[in-house]
Chains A and B, each alone.
Chain A
Amino acid sequence: MATGGVTREAGPGAPGRVPRTARSLAHARFVLALALAVITLVLVVMLAVTIGPANVALGQVSGSILGHLGLGPSGAEAGAVPLLIDSIVWELRLPRVLTAAIVGAGLAISGAVMQSVTRNPLADPYLLGLSSGASLGAVCVVILGVGFALPAAAFLGALLALFATLSIARVGGTITPARAVLAGLAIAQLAGAGTSFIIFWSAKGDSYREILNWLLGSVAGATWESVIISGTALALVGTGVVLAATRLDAFAFGDTAAASLGINVNATRWALLGSVALLTGAMVAVSGAIGFVGLILPHLVRGLSGPGHRRLLPLVAVCGALFLVVADTLARTIFDPRELPVGIITAFIGVPVFIVLIKRKKSSAWS
């Protein structure tokens, strides 16, 4: 601030006024970035489907997809993709790649919304314990057979974890970013221990792999049902938060400023955090707790989109999808034929980003 030296009011040599041009350029750059990201995503999804033990050509991927959409020859018709290839594409690889894309988009949106309403640059569904809570909820249904719909249980787990994290972070003072992350760590450990305990206790099949998949996240078992569960949640919550973009912007200077701009702060915050818990819950229900996607993507994408949420949210969703499709493709090819849980890849990328963010303390939101 105005410490030391002379602080002049009208900075000399301020750049000439070209606001309209500058804004139009920023908008054109955003539209271009979004269009490029969408095109890249479509290409990467199709390429990812070609990669695997059986050789599939790019044309066969598009042929199979078009056939199933009724836009081209299918089944035994002339010119259709061979049945074996078709079922590899449509039954095995495409659901997995699409699930990775949807989960990446959902987690990235969750992170962006959480960072805004909590004014915490480290907010992320994984770091604040939501993902682990959702895993625990999901495992209760999958392993123990608790009579609950899987996404609903994961949602409930995420919501409880969020509530617990914020309660612990608030004990004896205001919630700072560091306190929130510490509290999230504790909750994530607790929920992770609960998840591991339930899986060991049930002792069916390959416990270790199962635990790893829930704690580190994996889309290896994704089916069309996974696509529908996660896709529905993404469509609903994604639309909702994009429509709430203005209200997210209003939180930039904190609660009082938001209230002074006509926002009903508490109702808005809980509605948005509840939506994030729902979105995270649905993502974890199909993929386990994949970390750091929600932390990394918003920080990377803000540089392209600017801080306004009406641009940030769509772009962060597409880039999140792209990121996780690439990460999952790496996870299943690096040590082929063995597969890594995709959360290992995202952690290797996410932790350095986390360290950079901690070093970059220029934001007053840290104190």
Chain B
Amino acid sequence: MVVTSAGVVIENLGFSIDEQVILAGVSASVAAGTVTGLLGPNGAGKSTLLRLVGGLATPATGSVTLDGDEIGSLPRREAARRIALLEQNTAPSVDLSVEDVVLLGRIPHRTRLLGSFGGDDDRAVAAESLAAVGAGELVDRMWHTLSGGQQQRVQIARALAQRPSLLLLDEPTNHLDVSAQLSLLSQVGGLGITAIMALHDLNLAAAFCDQILLLQDGRLVAAGTPAEVLVPEIIGAVYGVECDIIEHPRDGHPVIVFSAPRSAGSSSDAPAADLAAPAFSAVHA
């Protein structure tokens, strides 16, 4: 499968709804072929940033370029051939087979008028895309008979069928069990395609991302490798939780070990890590 790599440059990106600022002054760059994790508490603006990068919303300020082309200036179909975005937890409104779902990804490549008569080429691409996420044997199954992890893989295959150079994923591991989470993310990393994904789980981000962008209240507060961004001071300031960082015994990436808050009212304003926080087990003691 030929994958064109691409680089993304985000410059001073801002977005508001009804005077309320959702995102402001976000600048970052994403190297071609890397996996970037988008982290931040609920409401930090992760999904909005993904929509702006995907060209699905128009920024109030700033711009996003992909391989030097400003995304906002691309026609929708052209953008859809280069960028694929997957929302969290979507299901089809009618029963579809797995192949039907993946073939949807060929829509931006079809001709406008008689394009509904897609050919065998499309089916070959669909088969390739399914194989790329290790779901080739699911092709004849019906969507609603799949497990959560299988559905998510098929969704990624649909995105791959668009033959994008940039893959945007909004919390792809939501509602998956741990084995499905791990296999899905390692598969995304193995695609060799530029990927930006919003994640909730800091440890998954630390394990599978080359770069982390950390958002808080619509602003980019930290960017860098997992080892640079995922440190107790920054995590404490953004999430208001205490933690320690240890090294993964096998892979060497950072592992974040959280501690329970010492009192109900503790917040990001008072990290005060002068005392060792009690471990989880101590809470029940």
Report A's interface with B, CB cutoff 8 A: 1-2, 6-11, 14-15, 17-19, 22-23, 115-116, 119-121, 242-243, 245-247, 249-254, 256-257, 259-264, 302, 306-310, 362-365
Interface residues of B in 122-158 (CB under 8 A from A): 123, 127, 134, 136-141, 144, 147-151, 153
- Of A10, A15, A307, which is within 8 A of B96 by CB? A307
Nearest B residue to A16 by beta-carbon distance? B137
CA distance A119 to B116 in the complex (A): 19
Provide the residues of chain B in CB contact with A7, threshold 8 Å. 147-149, 177, 180
Find the residue from A1, A259, A263, A310 having the highest chain B CB count within 10 A. A1
Subset of 29 A-B contacts with CB under 8 Å: A1-B148, A2-B149, A2-B175, A8-B147, A9-B150, A9-B183, A10-B137, A11-B141, A14-B138, A15-B140, A17-B137, A17-B139, A17-B140, A249-B116, A253-B87, A256-B87, A260-B85, A261-B104, A261-B107, A261-B108, A261-B162, A262-B77, A262-B79, A306-B97, A307-B100, A309-B116, A363-B92, A365-B91, A365-B93
B148 near A264 with CB under 8 A, answer no
A258 CA to B175 CA in the complex, in Å? Answer: 23
B124 shortest CB reach to chain A, Å: 11
Report yes or no: A261 in contact with B93, Cβ–Cβ below 8 A.
no
Is there a chain A Cβ closer than 8 Å to B115's Cβ?
yes
B233, chain A: closest CB distance, angstroms: 35
Please measure, in the bound complex, the distance between the C-alpha atom of A362 and the C-alpha atom of B144, giving whole angstroms: 8
- In the docked arrangement, what's the CA distance between A274 and B108, Å? 24
Interface residues of B toward A: which range?
A: 35 or more
Q: Which chain A positions have C-beta within 8 A of B127? A: 19
Is the beta-carbon distance between A306 and B105 smaller than 8 angstroms? no
| A250 and B104 form a contact (CB under 8 A) | yes
**Contact A9 B147, CB 8 Å, known A243-B114, A308-B100:** yes
B172 nearest CB across to chain A (Å): 13
Bound Cα distance A306, B149 (Å): 24
What residues of chain B lie closer than 8 Å to A6, measured between beta carbons? 177
Complex interface: chain A residues within 8 A of B113 (CB): 243
A264 to B77, CA, bound (A): 9
CB–CB B91/A363 < 8 A: yes
What is the chain A residue whose CB lies nearest that of B113? A243
Pair A260/B54 contact, Cβ less than 8 Å: yes
Is B136 within 8 A of A261, CB to CB?
no
Whether B171 sits at the interface, judged by CB under 8 Å, is: no
Whether the pair B104, A9 counts as a contact (CB closer than 8 A) is no
Q: Do A1 and B107 touch across chains, with their CB atoms under 8 A apart?
A: no
A323 to chain B, nearest CB (A): 20
Q: How far is the CA of A74 from the CA of B120 in the complex (A)?
A: 50
Which residues of A lie under 8 Å from residue B92 when comparing CB positions?
A: 252-253, 307, 363
